[in-house]
Chains A and B, each alone.
Chain A
Amino acid sequence: MERRAFVRLSAYTALVLAIPLADGCKTNPNDPLSQPFLFSRIADIKTLREAGMAYRKLAPHENDPTSLRQLLSEGKPTTDAKLLTTLLNRQVKQDFASAKVITVAGWVLSVTEARQCALFSILNT
């Protein structure tokens, strides 16, 4: 890679990484486990955090990133972000269909996406 192009790309990458940090968000946007797909298109960071914190109060035994990651990854043997997103979305819908639903901070959410919010809130305290 040409040196000038490398410098430009590095600066751009640094900027992209810095924006979420400046916003107080330490989540990797490519980490589907902490990004409820549909809900994060509706809710802002504060709302995601509030929902996550409310869930952690309701389920204190899950209140650590390891447990949450484990619960969210269960039955999804993949690290491919795109595939994981698809599998999580499917699980969210299944949750709603099978009444695995919880009300957190007023939001009627699937347990899966509530856990995603919980993980998000831990990573972004």
Chain B
Amino acid sequence: MHIDAKLIPDHSVIEGDICIIGAGAAGISMALEWINTPYNVILLEGGGFDYEPAMQDLYRGKTTGQRYYPLESARLHYFGGTTGHWAGFCSVFDPIDFEKRDWVPYSGWPIKRGDLDAFYVRAQRNLDLGPYEYSYEYWRENDPSLVSLPFDPNAVFNKMWQFSPPTRFGSKYKDTIVNAPNIYLYTYANVTDITANEHASAIKQVTIKNLAGKQHTVKAKCFVLACCSMQNARLLLASNKQAPKGLGNDHDVVGRYFMEHIEIKSAEMWFPDPEQLKLYSIDYGKTKVRAELAITAEKQREHRILNGTASFSPLEAARNQPAFIDIWKSSDPKERAKAFGKFDETERKSKSSNGHNSFQLFTRIEQAPNPNSRISLDTETDALGMRRAMLHWELTPLEKRSIRMIYEIIGRQIGIAGKGRVRLMEYLRDEHDDSWPEFTGGGWHHMGTTRMGTDPKTSVVDANCKVHGISNLFTAGASNYATAAAPNPTLTLVALTLRLSDHLKRSAGIFV
């Protein structure tokens, strides 16, 4: 059922069993799981079904520290959320990503990769991906033309990616959600406050507002915050009536450990003869799988580096492409989509059927969890009177050292193979230089801010995504990530959400 919160009487009280706040990849995945259950599910979406500048403006905010994109352009504020413009890149986290690594401060999840496998299988379906297969061998068997570079698999391996069409959750799942008898989708329902009981140990209700001036109350037995890493943190911090520092923030962790993937051109690979590298190529909209070069867990341990991957683009075209941070700087996310289209076109045109002698190597690497990299609240408020989010993005020397080492390892491997040579870009050459070049960018992947862990002093939610100390408040999405891994976040955040959903179904006591 769909209800427009602008059209119902002011100060309505809405009641249900579960209240899911946010209708993006996480919120919709969660709601789909509850269709035809005995529970009434309230799904709150701040926007409508389409892009609206006024709604998007609610996401505006300042940034400091490492140069970043305009905040309002990085996410979409309508039903379907940021899947409305995602590119569909999917891969799984590696087992090492969940481990405590003594060289990566604050690393380690309270769950293992194996705990997510069954949910990855289900997430694949939500995202219209192929089989849950991410080994190079599997895909090579299906397509013998996917030939690997001859690397020692103990050092460098082919990390496989699958590509969603990309699934736009807004269009794909709208009818299913709207027609579900026990799902109550409210659009134009922006949560501006979460009200806890006196001791802030349980949530009683949330307040929703919209630009039509209406305000309503939603009561439920269980609340799931699923409105992206920035907004999850913003809401918890802004909800400070019962907990002065914000809900779940007794130890000043909410909003901290904000993580992005550093996405940056880093090196070149040169061959004496033209190479096709089909395995590593992508034709947007057509390619189902491709590989990126990744460093094995053993080598990461040996060199004490972060997890990252390298992708290939023909050098001739890549050299002339401006960096993402320079072309995707419009505050209007639709402009970003246009820029992305031009980017694809240039790359497509540059492809030669005879192959290429040189390729640009592009890095996507996790950022080390860093408490100083954070979301906080600005003094400026948005049109609904809510304090705006402010991002301070901060990197550490470990990220840069890791990128340099990744290409030294790849350079060694291509040298052992006698196949070609690697050349590092200028900014990586001085190992004592920790600065970042102007073209350093992120992937628009917001992670952390309500990180998962066992210790409330360094985490916000437990292994079941429940906010520490609050019995009926959960978070869904990439805000739960304790570390960022190398892959884009969508597949894993959907898997984590499905795991949370199963946990809630087992926790019948919560609905009494």
Partner-B contacts on A (CB < 8 A): 38-39, 41-43, 89, 92-93, 95-97, 99, 101, 103, 105-110
Contacts and interface: CB of A to CB of B under 8 A. Distances in A.
B9 interface: no
Contacts, number: 58
9 contacts: A38-B421, A42-B357, A92-B415, A103-B408, A103-B429, A106-B423, A106-B425, A108-B407, A108-B424
A64 B413 CA distance: 30
From A41, A105, A106, residue with most partner B Cβ within 10 Å: A106
Nearest to A99: B412
A109 B270 CA distance: 12
B102 interface: no
Given A38-B418, A42-B420, A106 B426 contact: yes
A39 B412 contact: no
Given A92-B415, A93-B416, A41 B422 contact: no
B509 interface: no
Contact of A42 (B272, B425, B428): B272
Given A99-B412, A108-B412, 12 more contacts: A42-B271, A42-B272, A42-B421, A95-B415, A96-B415, A103-B424, A105-B423, A106-B426, A108-B408, A108-B421, A108-B422, A110-B415
B270 A108 contact: no
Given A41-B272, A96-B416, A106 B429 contact: yes
Nearest to B422: A108
A109 to B, nearest CB: 7
Contacts of A110: 415
Range class of the B interface residue count = 20 to 34
Contacts of A95: 415
B510 to A, nearest CB: 55
A107 B422 contact: yes
B411 A101 contact: yes
B421 A101 contact: no
Interface in B421-479: 421-426, 428-429
A123 B421 CA distance: 23
Given A107-B423, A108-B412, A109-B421, A38 B272 contact: yes
A43 B418 CA distance: 15
A105 to B, nearest CB: 8
Interface in B271-292: 271-272
Interface-central residue, A43, A99, A103, A108, by most chain B CB under 10 Å: A108
A108 B416 contact: no
A12 B1 CA distance: 88
